[in-house]
Amino acid sequence: MAAPNGAPLGADSEPRRALRVALLGCGVVGTQVVRLLTQQRADLAARVGAPLELVGVAVRDLTIAREGVDPALLTTDAAGLVERADIVVEVMGGIEPARSLMLSAIAAGASVVTANKALLAADSPTLYAAAEAAGVDLYFEAAVAAAIPLVRPVRESLAGDRIKRILGIVNGTTNYVLDQMATEGLDLDLAVKQAQQLGYAEADPTADVGGYDAAAKAAILASLAFHTRVPLASVHREGITGITADDVAWAGRTGHVVKLLAIAERTDDGVSVRVHPALVPASHPLAGVHGAFNAVFVEAEAAGELMFYGRGAGGAPTASAIMGDVVSVARHRVLGGRGPVESKYADLPMLPASAAITRYQMRLDVADRPGVLSQVAAVLAGHGVSIEAVRQAPQPVGLDGEVAPAASLAHLIITTHAATDAALAATVAAIAELDSVTRVVSVLRVEGA
Amino acid sequence: MAAPNGAPLGADSEPRRALRVALLGCGVVGTQVVRLLTQQRADLAARVGAPLELVGVAVRDLTIAREGVDPALLTTDAAGLVERADIVVEVMGGIEPARSLMLSAIAAGASVVTANKALLAADSPTLYAAAEAAGVDLYFEAAVAAAIPLVRPVRESLAGDRIKRILGIVNGTTNYVLDQMATEGLDLDLAVKQAQQLGYAEADPTADVGGYDAAAKAAILASLAFHTRVPLASVHREGITGITADDVAWAGRTGHVVKLLAIAERTDDGVSVRVHPALVPASHPLAGVHGAFNAVFVEAEAAGELMFYGRGAGGAPTASAIMGDVVSVARHRVLGGRGPVESKYADLPMLPASAAITRYQMRLDVADRPGVLSQVAAVLAGHGVSIEAVRQAPQPVGLDGEVAPAASLAHLIITTHAATDAALAATVAAIAELDSVTRVVSVLRVEGA
């Protein structure tokens, strides 16, 4: 197409050619990107120094009506569209055809802005290398925690510091589900159904509930924070599928809240990245993160502890992050320069989950007779796991706190001091072997204490 | 001096000349900048693509020992030093000679990183214009809320969105003082003395206690957020000097906490920027910001509400922000490109403080007789100020809540619905004229409800 020409804008006196923006995908996020490009046209032109012109929107089905999107812009020819753009915004998701299209765009000289956490976690080296070879930008603020500025602070603001730890809630769906379980006493299935009805969870909730989405975000953040490639396979991942209403209720009784956490730590030995549900003390700021909100702590050597909080999902918040990136890459087109490239120089070793050191809370059904606690305590001591607190309760306890008639069992809630995952696993296996232990009901990590 | 040469580094195969860094000032922040430059030398070189070499540290007094700083680097010839640097880091503070030195550095082709909020608030246009003319970078993340990434998120991450409001605690000294008043029941003078003993407050605490420091930060943030020059003179500024132990105690009794807030709002009419103490509901996240910490809410049209939290002062946190900027400007030296320039295209009108609309809480000493409340309520209604809540208490009430014997007075605590500052001022003046009102004890804004 011919280069369209906008009014003179920016610091220069010359008229600037409009920058051609192509959008791949037009769902909840894409329509908001179109809205911002349209409604803030004049502001964006002034900030960039040249107008941004949406030249096309690639979709699979042309017949779906998309509010606020000019039907003339819609096309099913995504491959053709990326050839005639300066900036390609990818919000279609998934590995293919997103990767091929982005690589075509980069090869054709376009800068790419993407929200595709799954692709970045699976194969960012390929995209980085292509962008670097072509001298174009690859930006992806929206891939982690939507509107919350995290990618830029981690890879730019803290580039002169040494990040030690990232700990946060990066999946709004599971946070909503756990929140509903805690406040309404729902079980997991019902809370997930409710989240689906409200549009917070997909028809197939596996990516969220299974922790896959959070693991992808953890891999992306850890790569940036530690200047090391973090393959998705190195992220220890546990979802919330094993979390029961009983777990959530007992968490509350012991002054905790259950949260799905993403944790990336740098130790003397390397990098540990994991996603799992954990008990967080009720007094910790993360315990107060409700509904579909996200919050992430970043701890750096000089900066100390920082927290970032906001909407981690949704069309408009995700579009906000995308448009911030669009302005950055567009400014590079106008003024020259490029954003950060892949930083992997540190190349730190990945540590297995078994090396992670955390506190634990385990709940056991045990025989209601003297000496059981001392037996269990002896097993813990024998494995070098130190006890911080023990609580005994009649068992079973209903969710309303009333004691049911079954009598000869007791419930033991043990919180340990910090121990390795490996030591804890061996301990739990040994405890399960004890005659007096009927069942290991649950074992949950305790974080943020 | 001859350009020193480092080992080959970065993506290119050519050896890179080291980038020469000059430091102006070597106090609490400067020594931490030197420490990070030294301890993270290898990391910084890898991230920048070239080594950073500290070529000199300008100080006033060569005889003061500075831990970890090579005495051979110290010089009193700041003007000479800036001539031989690629990057000048200014942490001396104050208007002059900081401004002249930075302008000389820029004229000599150096990029500038500064933490100087007073100078930026007073005269950023001069610095911006010089940097733009010379094609060099002017970065200042450390000028607002130290380690907390705020400048970059506001001017880059949210550049594709429309910021509506910024509200936060940006002065750690006053936050510490107010926190001590609330938790220890101290009066202002004593809390300030304590802050001075702990190094949180200067010998002359005026800049902090008077709200000048917060006003400078508010002006900087508002300029960035609203793409409009915000002169310091347009910032309505009230410090905490009028806040009494009684105010803090009554805030607590009515479910509030007193905080010094910086607020920048965009309305249909223009921009309102103000710094003043305010009552914040105890349930609001800002109420939980203790000690010398800072926290800032940013509300944008698409992103919704974001919060940033962390250490807003101190040597290491400030140095962290500075070093992030140093890496950015250094990367531009190596890879080309430039950071954001001044964005003032929106040129929105500044609104007077009298146009600001907030809720208020006023405390009155009144005659303890029937009909007084109705008189006061009539005055409020006559000025169009609507009452949200009224509380009557015997007066005077000691800090321990006990009623002292003085009998014929009562204490009236009135919380209003939102009203303009102007309407409230007129209302208060009229109330003070009432025979039944002995004294208007205090009038405080209520924010964050």
> Quick check: B73 contacting A, CB < 8 Å?
no
A328 touches chain B (CB under 8 A): yes
Q: What is the pLDDT of residue B265?
A: 96
Chain A contact for B345 (CB, 8 A cutoff):
yes
> Closest residue of B to A307, CA-based?
B309
Contact status of A326 with chain B (Cβ, < 8 Å): yes
Q: Which of B105, B153, B147 is nearest to B127 (CA)?
A: B105
At A135-160, the pLDDT tens digits run 999 999 999 999 999 999 999 999 99
The tens digit of pLDDT for each residue in A300-339 reads 999 999 999 999 989 999 999 999 999 999 999 998 888 9
Give every CB contact of residue B348 below 8 A, 6+ residues apart in sequence.
B226, B227, B228, B266, B270, B271
pLDDT of B14 reads 52
> pLDDT tens digits, residue range A65-98?
898 999 999 999 999 999 999 999 999 999 999 9
Pairing of strands B87-90, B19-24: parallel
The closest alpha carbon to A448, from A216, A288, A300, A249, belongs to A288
Give the nearest partner residue to B327 out of A153, A159, A302, using CB atoms.
A159
Q: What is the DSSP letter of B449?
A: -
> What does each of the 449 residues of chain B score in pLDDT, given as a tens digit?
333 333 333 444 455 799 999 999 999 999 999 999 999 999 999 999 999 999 999 999 999 989 899 999 999 999 999 999 999 999 999 999 999 999 999 999 999 999 999 999 999 999 999 999 999 999 999 999 999 999 999 999 999 999 999 999 999 999 999 999 999 999 999 999 999 998 888 889 999 999 999 999 999 999 999 999 999 999 999 999 999 999 999 999 999 999 999 999 999 999 999 999 999 999 888 998 998 899 999 999 999 999 999 999 899 999 999 999 999 999 999 988 889 999 999 999 999 988 889 999 999 999 988 889 999 999 999 999 999 999 988 755 544 445 555 558 889 999 999 999 899 999 999 999 999 999 999 999 999 87
Locate the chain A residue with the closest alpha carbon to B286: A285
A334 chain-B contacts, CB cut-off 8 A: none
- Give the number of C-alpha atoms closer than 13 A to the C-alpha of residue A53, restricted to the C-beta side: 18
Give the list of residues 6+ apart from residue A257 with CB closer than 8 angstroms, or none. A178, A182, A251, A279, A280, A281, A282, A287
Residue B43 Cα, gap to closest chain A Cα (Å): 8
- Cβ contact B188:B277 at 8 Å: no
Mutation site, B157, B301, B309, B333, interface A, largest A CB count within 10 A: B157
Q: Residue A135 is encoded by which pair of tokens? A: 């001298």
On the question of a cis peptide bond just before residue A125, with omega within 30 degrees of 0, the verdict is: no
Contacts of A156 in chain B (CB under 8 A): 152, 324, 327-328
Per-residue pLDDT at A243:
97
Nearest to A301 by CA among B317, B141, B54, B327: B317
Is A36 in Cβ contact with B323 (below 8 Å)? Answer: no
Contact between B315 and B93 under an 8 Å Cβ cutoff? The reply is no
Query: Assign residue A263 a region: left if phi > 0, alpha if psi is -120 to 50, beta otherwise?
Result: beta
Give the span between the Cα atoms of B265 and B351, in whole angstroms.
Answer: 10
- From start to end of A327-448, where are the E strands? 357-367, 387-394, 409-416, 419-420, 437-446
Residue of B nearest to A47 (CA): B343
Rounded Cα distance between B351 and B345, Å, is 18
Question: Do β-strands A87-90 and A19-24 pair in parallel, antiparallel, or remain unpaired?
Answer: parallel
Q: Which residues of A touch B332 (CB under 8 A)?
A: 337
Under DSSP, the state recorded for A349 is P
With the CA atoms of A112, A117, A120 and A122 taken in that order, what torsion angle do they form, in degrees rounded to the nearest 10?
Answer: -150
Confidence of residue A11 (pLDDT cuts 50, 70, 90): very low
Give the ipTM of the model, two decimals please: 0.91
Query: How, if at all, do strands B293-300 and B304-311 pair?
Result: antiparallel
Q: Mention every residue, 6+ apart, whose C-beta is less than 8 A from residue A42.
A: none
The CA distances from residue B394 to A168, B378, B388, B403, in Å, are: 48, 22, 21, 7
Instruction: Give the minimum alpha-carbon distance from A274 to chain B in angstroms, rounded to a whole number.
Output: 24
CB distance A304–B310 less than 8 Å?
A: yes
Residue B415 has φ and ψ, to the nearest 5°, of -105, 130
pLDDT tens figures, A167-215: 999 999 999 999 999 999 999 999 999 999 988 888 899 999 999 999 9
Compute the distance between CA of residue A433 and CA of residue B139 in angstroms, rounded to an integer.
62
Per-residue pLDDT of A212-256, as tens digits, reads 999 999 999 999 999 999 999 999 999 999 999 999 999 999 999
Best to test chain B binding among A157, A294, A348 (most B CBs inside 10 Å): A157
Of A1, A217, A22, the closest CA to residue A102 belongs to A22
pLDDT average, residue stretch A440-446: 96
- Which one is predicted more confidently, A12 or B56? B56
- Structural domains present in chain A: 19-146+316-335 (3.40.50.720), 161-310 (3.30.360.10), 356-446 (3.30.70.260)
CB B106 within 8 Å of CB B136 = yes
| d(C-alpha A60, C-alpha B117), whole Å | 51
Rounded Cα distance, B313 and B310, in Å: 9
Q: What is the pLDDT of residue A3?
A: 34
User: Residues 185-204, chain A: which have Cβ within 8 Å of B?
Assistant: none
SS (H, E, C) B308-351: EEEECCCHHHHHHHHHHHHHHHHHHHHHCECCCCCCCCCCCCEC
Instruction: Give me the helices (H) in B139-227, please.
Output: 151-152, 172-184, 188-197, 206-209, 212-226
Catalytic residue list contains A217: yes
- pLDDT score of B354: 85
What pLDDT is stored for residue A14 in this prediction? 52
Q: Is A11 or B309 the better-scoring residue by pLDDT?
A: B309
**Between residues 390 and 429 of chain A, which touch chain B (CB distance below 8 Å)?**
none
Q: How far apart are CA A112 and CA A48, in angstroms?
A: 16
Q: What does the DSSP 8-state code read for residue A291? A: T
Distances (CA, A) of B378 to B374, B375, B390: 6, 5, 13
Q: How far is A342 from chain B (nearest CA, A)?
A: 10
